[in-house]
């Protein structure tokens, strides 16, 4: 538990984009602590209800809140709901992300606006609301991307905003540290999710284009990213803030011209 064991109240966590993929794995992992997980989703209620069932089977309590995090008013409504029901918040995991798979000369202003709203603005607005509900043991984790620091085909609109997200993580970490709130990021590499499948389909890339450059010789799982998030929310990470924990099997340290067969 993040908060002192003497405090019997269960932890309250908000996970955005939690109906599938990494967000879902994070929600279920946090449920194993026995707390309450607020599962935010945008439109797929069936997937969200399935995630809620997993949360409950894992030993936690959960609730669903439908909100498009691109909309600041919807984000405010999410945290107003948390305040009314729980009166406080222990964890925010900002996982929701989206954007077009476009080359730099194909990106239009509408693509830029949406990518900013989803990948950068949504974190800032959510973190501002979250910290008002946190005590001195609050924790915030944002899910970023390798594309924040490396050019990836068709990923410019998202990658640039993920770079902005990581900058915001550092600023929030520096300014919230005196208030006892830690703010970090987790970056996944090639992680088996629906989003990865969509990206590969949109760009024409295949496993064979990427896996040979991963020293661990395989793609990662959502659970492996969730475990990293769980660490940053734990007492073991009390002195860790403003950091980006990369979970990529070594992809980001591998020279692109050197294969690493499994």
- Mapped to the 3 state alphabet, what secondary structure does the chain carry? CCCCCCCCCCCEEEECCCCCHHHHHHHHHHHCCCCEEEEEECCCHHHHHHHHHHHHHCCCEEEEEECCCCCHHHHHHHHHHHHHHHCCCCEEEECCCCCCCECCCCCCHHHHHHHHHHHHHHHHHHHHHHHCCCCCCCEEEEEEEHHHCCCCCCEHHHHHHHHHHHHHHHHHHHHHHHHCCEEEEEEECCECCHHHHHHHHHHCCCHHHHHHHCCCCCCECHHHHHHHHHHHCCHHHCCCCCCEEEECCCHHHCCCCCCCCC
Give the angle 162-187-141 at the CA atoms, nearest 5°.
Answer: 85
66: buried, middle or exposed (CB in 10 Å: 19+, 13-18, 0-12)? middle
**Residues annotated catalytic, as ranges:** 155, 162
Measured CA angle at 143 (ends 137, 148), to 5 deg = 130
Q: Which residue has the tokens 């620091």?
A: 149
The CA distance from 211 to 217, in Å, is 6
Pull the structure tokens for residue 85.
């029901």
């Amino acid at each position: 538990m993040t908060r002192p064991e003497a405090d019997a109240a269960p932890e309250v966590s908000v996970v955005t984009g939690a109906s599938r993929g990494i967000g879902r794995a994070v929600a279920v992992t946090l449920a194993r602590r026995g707390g309450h997980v607020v599962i935010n989703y945008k439109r797929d209620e069936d997937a969200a209800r399935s995630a809620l069932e997993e949360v409950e089977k894992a030993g936690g309590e959960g609730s669903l809140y439908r909100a498009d995090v691109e909309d600041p008013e919807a984000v405010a409504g999410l945290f107003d709901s948390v305040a009314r029901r729980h009166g406080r918040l222990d964890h925010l995991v900002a996982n929701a992300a989206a954007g077009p798979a476009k080359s730099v000369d194909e990106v239009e202003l509408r693509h830029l606006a949406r990518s900013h709203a989803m990948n950068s603005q949504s974190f800032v607005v959510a973190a501002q609301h979250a910290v008002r509900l946190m005590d001195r043991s609050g924790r915030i984790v944002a899910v970023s991307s390798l594309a924040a620091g490396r050019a990836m085909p068709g990923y410019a609109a998202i990658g640039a905003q993920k770079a902005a997200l990581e900058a915001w993580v550092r600023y929030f970490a520096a300014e919230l540290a005196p208030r006892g709130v830690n703010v970090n990021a987790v970056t996944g590499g090639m992680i088996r999710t629906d989003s990865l499948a969509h990206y590969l389909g949109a760009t024409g890339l295949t496993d064979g284009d990427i896996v040979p450059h991963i020293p661990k010789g395989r793609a990662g799982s959502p659970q492996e990213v969730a475990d990293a998030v769980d660490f940053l929310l734990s007492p073991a990470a009390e002195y860790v803030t403003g950091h980006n924990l990369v979970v990529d099997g070594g992809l980001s340290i591998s020279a692109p011209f050197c294969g690493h067969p499994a």
